[in-house]
Structures are given as structure tokens and as C-alpha cells.
Amino acid sequence: MRGNFGKTTALVMALTATASMAHAEDVEVLHWWTSGGEAAALNVLKQDLAAKDIGWKDMPVAGGGGEAAMTVLRARVTSGNPPTAVQMLGFDITDWAKQGVLANLDSVAKEGNWDAVVPTALQKFSKYDGHWVAAPVDVHSTNWVWANKKVLDGLGIAQPKTWDEFVAALQKVKDAGKVALAMGGQPWQESTMFDGVVLSTGGPDFYKKAFIDLDPEALGSDTMVEAFKRMETLHSFVDPNFSGRDWNLASAMVIKGDAAFQMMGDWAKGEFLRAKMVPGTDFMCFRTPGTAGDVTFNSDQFAMFKVKNPAAQAAQDEMAKAIMSPGFQSSFNVVKGSVPARTDVSDAAFDACGKMAMQQLKDAAANGTLLGSMAHGHADVASVKNAIYDVVTANFNGEYDAKQAAAELVKAVALAQ
């Protein structure tokens, strides 16, 4: 009866577009998951909440990896009317927490024992000043390479283990007249590659020093010059039309066998699965050569904003609880291509790549080599991240050579801090 009423309410709201129908036990959710699979996965959460009599007011704003949504959020917060929960990444959460607008989830976290099941590297972002302010939904990682197995088998290429093997493999593909590296020339894509390249050039300690501690010495070091040189090497393996291409079109090139490799985060897996390709037999997933054992991650979280009345607070707590339930964590991440934010979720529902990723996440978390992704705002605040983007893209597009790029990197980061 109540469920039915909720449905009717939603329908009436959609038809008459009146906000006044809202009742206290609603959560309003700002997010940018609007593509088929993700949105459908989020619908699972909506239904979980509906079962508890909590209504879901949807506020999707896609664009630029959440940039548009963050603009809208600013407008909402300044108007004194923030949404209940907002999809957020990395340092954005910390930045908003600093403004004192996020809610305190400690009681729910304690009840669900979040401290024990969420990797510490993630907690750094879900907590501010020792208090839980956000519920992590997933963990993506960026140091992946996706490859078309048929193309590799046809050319007699085995999975490259080291950087040199990788370059040799790329060369072999290029000599065979195919595109060696499928790539989309957008600053965030280039930087996503850069995550893996820096990690493989300098190892996790160097990555940490350069991107997380922002040590000027590391940023301008010979190792960084070498990393930029490797980017230039990669540049010689992309096709001339790479600039501005969407990442999924690059994936399509690998899927069709026009290209051999793509270096992209694990959201690319969805494209391969959708094309009915099977991991291990049709396509391969492996860590960027030279980064085995390390994981550069980014994690989508729902940051909870302070809401006024107790009923809304209760709804918010329920939502946080639902997000962290192992069932939702599994079903959502199977669809999204990522892995659960809790390390105690069963991997039964995941494919081979997903199982591998879950194991690697657990190991990296234990070894201290689970590092925030620079490209996706988990190593630095937005201003620094974008300053690094500027240099990476200038280097990749031939504006700076490797030496210049390293020097500019030091300057740009200093200016953005």
C-alpha cells in the first residue's frame, strides 16, 4: 500500500513537476551516473531504500566526470538547500568537509564496523578530522592495460611483463600495420595513462613523493623526465586522430581488433563485456607493465550533507547503511566494472578481471601500495590536479619536451598550491 503510494507520488511528481510533494523521509541524491548500466545499478539502491519507505529524489547532472554536478552543488549549498547525498571523488570530499557542511556518520559507521572493512587508503577520503562523512561505493583503479587477445595471438605477442617488453610489443603491432595503442587525447585520459607510467617508472615510493607529497625535487627529478620520455614513446604508438576522441571509442578500436592495447581505468571493462567479449579468451586485462602489486585507485563515494530535521537524518543514515551493505556493494560493482569498497565482500559474482582486481586491492591495501590516483583527484586537490593535467597534456601534444615538462611541472604545482 505504502509502496504503491510512493510510486504514485513519483509519477505525479514527474507529471506535474511539483517539488511540494516531497515528504520528510526522502533522500535527494546528486550524481552523474546517467549511462545505462550505472544508472540501473543505482536503481538497486533506490529500491533498497523504497523497501524501507524512503523516497528517492533523483538529481542527475552528467558531464566532465562530475564537473557539472560540482557546479550545481555549489549553487545548492550557497542557496542553503544542499542535497542529502552527493556523489563525490577524493579531495572534493575533504574540501567540502572543511566548509563544515557535511554530516557526521560515526554512529552508522560504528554499527557497521566500517573502520575494519574499508581500506585505510580509502578512509582518508571518507573521513574528515576523524569522523565519517561519506560512504564509499566502489573502488576503480587506473593502472590497467586492456588488450585484444586475438590481435596479440596473431602477432605472437605474450602479455608484456616489463616496460621494455611492453614497448617491444607496441612496436611489433605498429610494424604489422595496426594501431598499437588506442587512445583518446583528452587531458584526463592522458593523465590516467600518466598515473601508470609514473608508477612504473619510479615505483610506489616515487609516485607517493611526487604526486601525494608534491615534493618539488621528485617532480623535477630525472625519474620524472624519464616518465615524460615514456609518455613520448607512447605518443609514437597512437594513431594521428587520437586527439579529442572519447575513451570508449578507443576501447571500440581494441574490441574490433583495429588496435591492440588501451591504457585506461577499469570502467573500460564494461565496453568489452557489452561487446560479448570474455576476459581471458577474447580480451586481456593486466596491470600497466612494471606496476604489479601496486594499485592507483579512485573511489566514488556518497558524501552526506547536513540536513535539518531528524526524519531526514534518519533517512540519510539508512541510505549510508544501504550503500555499505555487502549485497549492494557486490551488485553495483559487478555492473560498474569496479570492485567493492569493502574488502570483505564475496567475489563470486565477479568476472575473472574483477576477481583479480579484488585480490590485488586487498594485497595492495595490506602492503601499503594502494595509492590515490593523481588523474582522478585522489592524490591532490583539484587545483593541483588540473595544473598537472596542463603539463601532461602539453607534453603529450608535443608542446614541451620531457625536460621542459618536468621543469614546468614543478612551477605549475607550486603556483597551484
Partner 1 sequence: MTTTVQVDFRTRLQNWIPKLVLAPSLGVIMVFVYGFIVYTVYLSFTNSKILPSYDLVGMANYTKLFQLPAWTLAITNLAIFASLYIVISTAIGLTLAIFLDQKIRGEGVLRPIFLYPMALSFIVTGTAWKWLLDPGIGIEHTMHLWGWASFHFDWIKNSKYAIYTVVLAAVWQTSGFVMAMFLAGLRGIDNEILKAAQIDGASNWNLYWRIIIPQLRPAFLSSFVILSHLAIKSYDLIIALTGGGPGRSTELPATFMYSYTFTRNEMGVGAASAVIMLMTIAAIMIPYLYAELKEVK
Partner 2 sequence: MSAITQDTAIRTGRVTRMLIYVTLLVFTLFYLLPLFVMVVNSLKPLSEITGGNMMSLPKTWTIEPWRQAWSSAQIGVEPTGLKPYFINSILMVVPAVAISTVLGALNGYVLTKWSFRGDKIIFGLLLLSCFIPFQIVLIPMATVLGKLGLAGSIPGLILVHVVYGIGFSTLYYRNYYASFPTELVRAAMIDGAGFFRIFWRIMLPISGPITVVCIIWQFTNIWNDFLFGASFGGQIQPMTVALNNLVQSSTGVKEYNVHFAGAILAALPTLLVYIVAGRYFVRGLMAGSVKG
What does the binding site for partner 2 look like in residue numbers (CB under 8 A)?
A: 13-15, 17, 19, 22, 28, 32-40, 42-43, 46, 56-66, 68, 71-72, 74-76, 78-81, 246, 248-249, 252, 256, 267, 270-271, 274, 336
Instruction: Out of 16, 18, 78, 79, name the contact with partner 1 by CB under 8 A.
Output: 78
Residue 57 interacts with, from partner 2, partner 1, none (CB under 5-8 Å by kind):
partner 2
Phi, psi of 257 (to 5 degrees): 85, 10
Nearest CA-CA partner of 108 in 338, 378, 323, 363: 323
Q: How far is the CB of 387 from partner 1 (least distance, A)?
A: 8
333 alpha carbon, distance to own chain's centre: 12
Q: Which three cell numbers stand for residue 162?
A: 616489463
Stretch that binds partner 1, among 102-110, 161-169, 343-351, 396-404 (CB under 8 A): 396-404
Residue 19 interacts with, from partner 1, partner 2, none (CB under 5-8 Å by kind):
partner 2
> How many amino acids of this chain bind partner 1 (CB under 8 A)?
34
* Torsion from C-alpha of 110, 113, 118, 123, nearest 10 degrees: 20
The secondary element (H helix, E strand) that includes residue 360 is helix 352-367
Told to check if 64 binds partner 1 by CB under 8 A, we report yes
Instruction: Tell me 88's DSSP state.
Output: E
Q: Hey, is 240 helix, strand or coil?
A: coil
Instruction: Out of 191, 221, 288, 393, name the contact with partner 1 by CB under 8 A.
Output: 393
Q: Which is nearer to partner 2, 59 or 101 (CB)?
A: 59
**Count of residues making up the chain:** 417
Compose the 158-177 pattern: x for residues touching partner 1 by CB under 8 A, - for all others. Answer: --------------------
Amino acid at 353: C
Instruction: Out of 394, 406, 409, 413, name the contact with partner 1 by CB under 8 A.
Output: 394
Told to check if 416 binds partner 1 by CB under 8 A, we report yes
Residue 237 interacts with, from partner 1, partner 2, none (CB under 5-8 Å by kind):
none
Q: Hey, is 213 helix, strand or coil?
A: coil
Told to check if 363 binds partner 1 by CB under 8 A, we report no
Told to check if 55 binds partner 1 by CB under 8 A, we report no
Q: Which residue has the cell 585506461?
A: 264
Phi, psi of 290 (to 5 degrees): 95, 5
CB 145 within 8 A of CB 286: yes
Residue 4 interacts with, from partner 1, partner 2, none (CB under 5-8 Å by kind):
none
Stretch that binds partner 1, among 164-172, 224-232, 321-329, 390-398 (CB under 8 A): 390-398
Q: Which is nearer to partner 1, 13 or 416 (CB)?
A: 416
Q: Which is nearer to partner 2, 78 or 99 (CB)?
A: 78
- Of the CA atoms within 13 Å of residue 332, those in its CB half-sphere come to 30
Told to check if 232 binds partner 1 by CB under 8 A, we report no
Residue 186 interacts with, from partner 2, partner 1, none (CB under 5-8 Å by kind):
partner 1
Q: Which three cell numbers stand for residue 9?
A: 507520488
Q: How far is the CB of 217 from partner 2 (least distance, A)?
A: 35
Stretch that binds partner 1, among 276-284, 316-324, 355-363, 385-393 (CB under 8 A): 385-393
CA angle 305, 79, 88 (to 5 degrees): 35
Nearest CA-CA partner of 304 in 171, 158, 133: 133
Q: Which residue has the cell 566526470?
A: 65
61 alpha carbon, distance to own chain's centre: 17
Q: How far is the CB of 196 from partner 2 (least distance, A)?
A: 17
What is the Cα–Cα distance from 388 to 138, expressed in whole angstroms?
Answer: 25
Strands 55-60, 26-31: pairing is parallel
Told to check if 337 binds partner 1 by CB under 8 A, we report no
CB 395 within 8 A of CB 402: yes
Q: Which is nearer to partner 1, 63 or 280 (CB)?
A: 63
- List of residues contacting partner 1 (CB under 8 A): 64, 67, 70-71, 74, 77-78, 95-96, 98-99, 185-187, 239-245, 381-383, 386, 390, 393-394, 396-399, 415-416
